[in-house]
Amino acid sequence: MVRPGGGPIKKVGNLSLVYPIISAAGKAETAQAKIEAKDFGKYYAAQACIFDLPAGKTRLTPAELDVIERRPLAIMLTATDGTSQVVLRETPGGLYVRADQIALRLSPRERRKVSVYATKYGVRYAGARVLALLDGTLLQASSDDPPVGTPTNALRFLTKCKTGRNGHVSWPFWACNPGSPRKYIDGQVYGVRFALVETMQLMMKYPFDYASFTHFLVWSEFPNPPQTWHDGIKDIFTLYANLFPVMKRMVDLSDYDTVVKRAAMIAYSMSLDFNDANYMPVSRDLSPAKLQAVLAWLKNPVKGTPKPSPVCSASSTGVTEEPEAKPEYSGKASAFARTLLVQAQEREL
């Protein structure tokens, strides 16, 4: 149910820029800078709550610069009843690391580098020790979903690197053939997290961004491209016909005659730039090897002969299905995954 808008914006209080200080007794306290954005409703309506802090100042004093270079900053909300709480803060020690790329697709034997940056209080962190951890805990919505992150040796990378003088490191990744662990879904997906060694020591006390990691899609090997419709091209098109049934209004991708009739249109959309809005398939989950096989077939769409359906029974084969092996992570990766899971659950409470 959607309620109509209107009415005055509720006043929630004042925002202040704050930072921790250490008292003579060695106890961490919160000192408030003399900068406030008082009329929250006005800023919400006019600026979408985007603030410039310190307000009304074009330059910071040497003392203020010294503070932000050595201490984590925070935003404090003081409610109308006088109570205060920190609503946004920098990480402990001002430590942060992240990768520029959040999603990559790799074919077997392909190598790619990921740009990783480390900072400390907003400044590039030279010589930072960074870990890369294989973690697929957030790639599945439920245990009934296809397995992810296995086999673990299909995505290879260094587990530890140091940043250069500019706080940057180009992290190399290598892809191998993952086989078909997800059955009819091509390739396998992996999650890789980057973390500073200092933050791993803090573990549960460190506010990890549990949704921040780099996703990898490693394609399955496709060594023998099919030459005819019935030799394998039909299987590729039928998968997308099932995924996008609305396409039948334009072209039935599971029907040979319809595909041949629209071959020029299909070839055009599949030959566009990968980032073009009209590129097909829109899901971008067709491997380069299969894409080239389809484009080659569209130039000479041979139908071929249907393959006979195999007839056998499970009892006659004597083959028993073994349970899928689950990926094993290192001790640090397992602990890191548990940390993220606990923090995610705490956010839901």
Please write down the HEC assignment for all residues of 294-310: HHHHHHCCCCCCCCCCC
Confidence of residue 278 (pLDDT cuts 50, 70, 90): very high
Of the candidates 86, 87, 79, which has an alpha carbon nearest to the alpha carbon of residue 14? Answer: 79
pLDDT of the residue at 319: 40
Of the candidate ranges 19-23, 224-228, 297-301, the one whose mean pLDDT is the lowest:
19-23
| Whether this model's pTM surpasses 0.95 | no
CB 95 within 8 A of CB 125: yes
Above 50 in pLDDT, residue 336? Answer: no
Confidence of residue 91 (pLDDT cuts 50, 70, 90): confident
CB 221 within 8 A of CB 295: no
In the chain, where the domains are located: 14-90, 94-221, 229-299
Rounded mean pLDDT, 94-114: 93
Question: DSSP letter string over 11-76?
Answer: P--EEEEEEEEE-TTS-EEEEEEEEEE--HHHHHHHHTT---SSTT-SS--HHHHHHHHHS--EEE
pLDDT of the residue at 60: 77
Above 60 in pLDDT, residue 335? Answer: no
pLDDT of the residue at 138: 82
Half-sphere exposure in the Cβ direction for 284 (13 Å, CA): 14
| DSSP-assigned letter for residue 10 | P
Above 60 in pLDDT, residue 24? Answer: no
Bridge partners, residue 132, by sequence: 194
Of the candidates 112, 107, 72, which has an alpha carbon nearest to the alpha carbon of residue 91? Answer: 72
pLDDT of the residue at 206: 63
Above 80 in pLDDT, residue 290? Answer: yes
Give the integer Cα–Cα distance in Å for 73 and 54. Answer: 12
For a pLDDT cut of 90, what percent of the chain falls above it? 43
pLDDT of the residue at 82: 83
pLDDT digits (tens, 9 = 90+) for 144-182: 888 999 999 999 999 999 999 999 999 999 999 999 999
pLDDT digits (tens, 9 = 90+) for 187-223: 999 999 999 988 877 554 666 677 788 999 999 999 8
Q: Which residue has the higher pLDDT, 59 or 105?
A: 105
pLDDT of the residue at 20: 72
pLDDT of the residue at 35: 45
Superfamily of domain 94-221: hypothetical protein (bacova_03559) (2.60.40.1740)
pLDDT digits (tens, 9 = 90+) for 122-138: 889 999 999 999 988 88
For a pLDDT cut of 70, what percent of the chain falls above it? 75
Terminal CA-CA length for the chain: 24
pLDDT of the residue at 200: 78
Of the candidates 343, 327, 18, which has an alpha carbon nearest to the alpha carbon of residue 155? Answer: 327
In Å, how far from its chain's centre is CA 173? 16
Bridge partners, residue 217, by sequence: 105, 189
Q: Are strands 214-218 and 103-106 parallel, antiparallel or unpaired?
A: parallel
Of the candidate ranges 39-43, 292-296, 297-301, the one whose mean pLDDT is the lowest:
39-43
Contacts with 316 (C-beta within 8 Å, 6 or more apart), sequence order = none
pLDDT of the residue at 315: 46
Residue 118 phi, psi dihedral angles, 5° rounding: -120, 140
Rounded mean pLDDT, 75-97: 83
Beta carbons within 10 angstroms of residue 309's beta carbon: 5
pLDDT of the residue at 230: 94
Give the integer Cα–Cα distance in Å for 131 and 215. Answer: 16
